[in-house]
Structure 1
């Protein structure tokens, strides 16, 4: 009888718990948030020049001082109403408040309800510093602030961290490449360049996000009450007409691409004419490696993001060069196998492009909050004891691994030399990757690069280009039938090998043009011929001696090119082969070089170039690959 009553009570309890969960699930995100949080929207936070930035604050109820997780963004975060876009901020706020933090989200100046004029990558660094000061002084703040965000909500964090505000206690930048200006040998300038060639993603991105200069503007000095009321029915987020970006990015000259689709041009017009070392790159919100980061950092990157190599180089730079031992010792890194900002989209069978990379899930949220608990709440948790310095996902073996550094300590550089009998053109040519260096001269490989018929981008490490490029791993075999792609492939591997680290490329090149580009793509070739791309890079020949000068080529003279290193972690299984493709275009991932030696951005007519790759004993073109056997 007692057992019967116990079972009945247990069943009743289970039913009540299920009903409670059901009732919670039926409540909207906003209703759940209102139960636990004080919500203060459209707070206009003043900057030192009088401009006010629109800020929403969500903090736990009660008279308590709490740490702050801060997100600053150019995107719309109006959380009023239903729908995924409208509930995203509220959902994040609910999660953060439940963890015992205040969540503060703020628009950059000139965006939506924030006053002032917006300038991509040009927002004053002092805006971040002033926001920290304002938050620290609030009576509900414990004075410790952590920054969090991906892509545009991450790119500003590094340069502001270099200002060393005393309340900036920790940061979690994710997919942060657009905030990296110069680090080591990389002169990305916020993803605008790679190897001196323009990356076209920002052209497409600017069309989608920049609002018309004649957009409605809220009168300066509007009250918080007015702003809240207006935001309930008008969120200042118009959409530009849909555009076929594959067609739009093909327009020449490059400087007229946005005007050709009736896009807003003011910011683009001044950026497109900047050279890689233009002084204006060093005046805005970009981080450069002469700036001292003084903040413990938990970095999140991904193999198919647009700037994985510079991102990894920045992690190494801070960890190895910070003047403060505490900062050097508190840099942590995650490298996922996903596209840009797609960490949490990993599933039991994660597909990136066409390739399955297995179960790539990770307890991201748990690790991030443990990191913030350590630095913002000053909890003595076990984050540092249980979290590897570097967590990286190895494709091919499809598993998470850990290391104390990047590259992993066991990685050894192995040199593969390019070789052929003079016809490495296409998949059907005679190009090979050999561990043996040529002992005597051989015939170089030549190909015709016509900028009016460039090699099309197919997969790769890209974001934000609309329908122009799909990112990720795709079978390259069909692309490799082109005669303007040189293909060099190793023998089938007798044993499986892990490639983890930076891949260094050296090409000896010549051309009959004054200037041209050279591209490299690293590929995993399966026994059935499937050829999945891993990473890619490019070098504009005029910048081979540095980005502070342009040195043009002399006809048929041989030059040494050091391409910016690629990066990956991939297990090449037994029987697989290692392949590289060499060409002179990867469009529209990168702007095509018109080969004239001119400015390129204002040109319409290109020059056909005959380009050569030399790989003799005297000119040993090669690729150095980090292997863990």
Structure 2
């Protein structure tokens, strides 16, 4: 292998070429997280016959210019793709690969660049589709903790400090409680001029909407414990290329390097080797048409086909307390603590199911329907589903948050997707609250924007407990197991 560093259209890139004369198909990774972190990955691609490149995006690490997240990746990616295809070691075929922001770079090249510059195949893992898509839930509610952490670590700087927010929180545990939230840079002690722009827009889905016009194969990879699970699945479902494959395991944002508590040994997939095998078949035109894939069933050793989905059924819930409660943004329900207060004024409506009489396999989107009232101009409704095992251990299953301006009525809160086996004897705890902080910004209940608000009001709430319906997608028969590699490579 012959590694070297080169400036491609002025941007720093490491290149690893396979042994031999070539020409070779190429793999391109464009990243803000330091191209040097991908050297082992580039070596792995090169050993398997691919010319492999990792490039620092504009304004990051060794690449000059100004760093504007999500703004320049289509044009810079297109220029890099043209450069690759002009090289004597390139056979013209190109696979765009990336995870998180690097997946955005791959998708921007595939969906936004001129047709002649687009890659021949795309591998997008835990894709961060755009500023709004990462900063807001589909309901519009702000994802505070994750975005504060990312912008503190990477925003408006050429390098990164992964622990920037953790260090700031250690010095000031109430850092994220200070208002307005636009003042966060001053509290971090550094300039962060792009921070207010993170929240300026509300429309999600700009890049995903272009997926229906895609012309190349896609491999979308995600985790059930990742912020971007819904975006990963939507990308796969909406992809218009000849072939789309989905791999979704019981993992967090770090995929197999961040297994969830429900991950089993059977979910330890060798992603690198699978990517190579898929890329070879994609470039050779050997993948079957349509959408296929595999989903890991957490709490079991099984993988099931990606089109497996349970039948929505209502689970009976019993009110424990809090049909009337106060959502006080000065004392919000914690997103990090699963303990439930048992004294004082209730801060949430708490309901529970009877112990499950037998194991349940839950695969698909979960939702809660309810009828409720809030006595403030604006209100968020946060719903958290927790499994309490027969031994008494509480484990978060799913969370959903919606924002409503209407004071009362019937509505549905989507809690995202589950793929999980629940053991017999498990109780499901349902918490309905007004906040889920600091994962999500606090609604101030004044009608003001939560990002710029400076005043907070308590919000009195009433929940019609008899109306609450927990809707789970339950498989009515034992699922048929599948091999994830076979499904991906079909």
Instruction: Compute the TM-score of the two structures, normalised by the length of structure 1.
Output: 0.69
- Are positions 1:370 and 2:272 aligned together? no
Q: Would you say 1:424 and 2:302 are equivalent positions?
A: no
Instruction: Work out whether residues 58 and 104 of structure 1, in 8 Å CA contact, stay in contact via their aligned partners in 2.
Output: yes
After superposition, the Cα gap between the structure-2 partners of 1:585 and 1:297, relative to the gap in structure 1 and judged at 3 Å, is: same
Q: Does 1:160 align with 2:118?
A: no
Out of 171, 179, 194, which is 2:129 matched to?
179
What corresponds to 2:202 in structure 1?
276
Query: Residues of 2 paired with 1:310 and 1:506: CA distance?
Result: 23
Where does residue 447 of structure 1 map in the other structure? 325
- SS at the partner of 1:288? helix
Deviations 1:220-246 (CA, angstroms, capped at 9, x unpaired) = xxxxxxxxxxxxxxxx66788632275
**Cα displacement (A) at 1:610:** 0.3
Query: Quick one: distance in 2 between partners of 1:609 and 1:404?
Result: 41
> 1:193-272 to 2 correspondence within 5 Å?
193-200=137-144, 201-212=146-157, 242-244=167-169, 246-272=173-199
1:491 aligns with: 354
Give the drift of 1:371.
Answer: 0.5
State how far apart, in whole Å, the 1-side matches of 2:384 and 2:154 are. 31
Matched, 1:610 2:457: no
Query: Is the Cα–Cα contact under 8 Å of residues 370 and 411 in structure 2 kept in the other structure?
Result: yes
Residues 339-366 of structure 1 show CA distances to partners (whole Å, capped at 9, x for unaligned) of 21231455xxxxx3xx453313113222
Matches within 5 A, 1:290-369: 292-318=213-239, 322=240, 327-328=241-242, 330-344=243-257, 346=259, 352=260, 355=261, 357-359=263-265, 360-369=267-276
Hey, what's the Cα distance between the residues in 2 that align with 1:530 and 1:240? 30
- Using the TM superposition, give the Cα deviation of residue 290 of structure 1 relative to its aligned residue in structure 2, in angstroms: 7.1
Residue 500 of structure 1: which of 360, 363, 385 is its match?
363
State yes or no: 1:170 paired with 2:170: no
Deviations 1:141-170 (A, max 9, x none): 011111222112112322332244465111
Say which of 456, 461, 471 aligns to 1:624.
Answer: 471
> For 1:297-340, what per-residue CA distance to the aligned partner results, in whole angstroms no more than 9, with x for missing partners?
1111111111212322222222xxx2xxxx25x11111111221
Q: Secondary structure at the match of 1:265?
A: coil
4+ residue segments displaced more than 4 Å = 164-167, 236-241
SS of residue matched to 1:198 = coil
1:169-216 Cα deviation digits (max 9, x unpaired)? 11111111x2157xxxxxx6234344221101112211112354xx7x
Unpaired segments ≥5 residues, structure 1: 1-35, 47-51, 79-87, 182-187, 216-235, 347-351, 426-444, 460-475, 542-551
Matched residue of 2:451: which SS?
coil
Deviations 1:551-606 (A, max 9, x none): x33xxx42233323411111122222233221111111000111110122222220
User: In structure 1, the residue corresponding to 2:59 is in which secondary structure?
Assistant: coil
CA distance in 1, matches of 2:397, 2:142: 21
1:128 aligns with 2:77: yes
- Answer whether contact 1:309 1:565 (CA < 8 A) is retained: no
Tell me, in whole angstroms, the C-alpha distance in 1 between the residues paired with 2:468 and 2:222.
30
2:13 corresponds to 1:45: no
How has the CA–CA distance of structure 1 residues 402 and 598 changed in structure 2, closer, same or farther, with 3 Å as cutoff? same
- Paired with 2:433 and 2:51, the residues of 1 have a C-alpha distance of 51
Residues 389-420 of structure 1 show CA distances to partners (whole Å, capped at 9, x for unaligned) of 32222222x21312151xx15x2110236554
Structure 2 counterpart of 1:400, from 290, 295, 302: 302
With over 3 angstroms needed to count, the CA separation of the structure-2 counterparts of 1:341 and 1:609, relative to structure 1, is: same
Max Rg structure: 1
- After superposition, the Cα gap between the structure-2 partners of 1:240 and 1:497, relative to the gap in structure 1 and judged at 3 Å, is closer
Question: What is the CA deviation profile of residues 408-456 of structure 1, one whole-angstrom value per residue up to 9, with x for unaligned ones?
Answer: 15x2110236554xx633xxxxxxxxxxxxxxxxxxx221011011111
Inter-partner Cα distance in structure 1 for 2:82 and 2:452: 44
Secondary structure (helix, strand or coil) at the match of 1:109 reads coil
CA–CA distance in structure 2, aligned partners of residues 365 and 204 of structure 1: 28
Q: How far apart in 1 are the matches of 2:179 and 2:360? A: 44
CA distance 1:139–1:290, shift in 2 (3 Å):
closer
Mapped contact 1:192–1:202 kept (Cα < 8 A): no
User: 1:457 and 2:328 equivalent?
Assistant: no
The answer (yes or no) to whether the contact 2:379–2:403 under 8 Å persists in 1 is yes
CA separation of 1:239/1:175 partners in 2, compared to 1, >3 Å: closer, same or farther? closer
In 2, are the aligned partners of 1:143 and 1:167 still within 8 Å (CA)?
no
CA distance in 1, matches of 2:137, 2:359: 35
Q: Would the alpha carbon gap of residues 310 and 77 (structure 1) be closer, same or farther in structure 2, given more than 3 Å must change?
A: closer
- Offset of 1:138 from its aligned partner? 1.3
Question: Which residues of structure 2 form unaligned runs of 5+?
Answer: 477-490
CA distance in 1, matches of 2:262, 2:418: 16
Q: Secondary structure at the match of 1:535?
A: strand
Equivalent residue pairs, number: 466
- Give the C-alpha shift of residue 76 in structure 1: 1.7
Rounded Cα–Cα distance in structure 2 between residues aligned with 1:560 and 1:157: 41
- Given the two structures, how large is their TM-score scaled by the length of structure 2? 0.87
Give the secondary-structure state (helix, strand or coil) at the position aligned to 1:136. Answer: helix
Partner of 2:485: none
Partner of residue 69, structure 1: 27
Q: Distance in 2 between matches of 1:601 and 1:574?
A: 43
SS in structure 1 of the partner of residue 396 of structure 2: strand
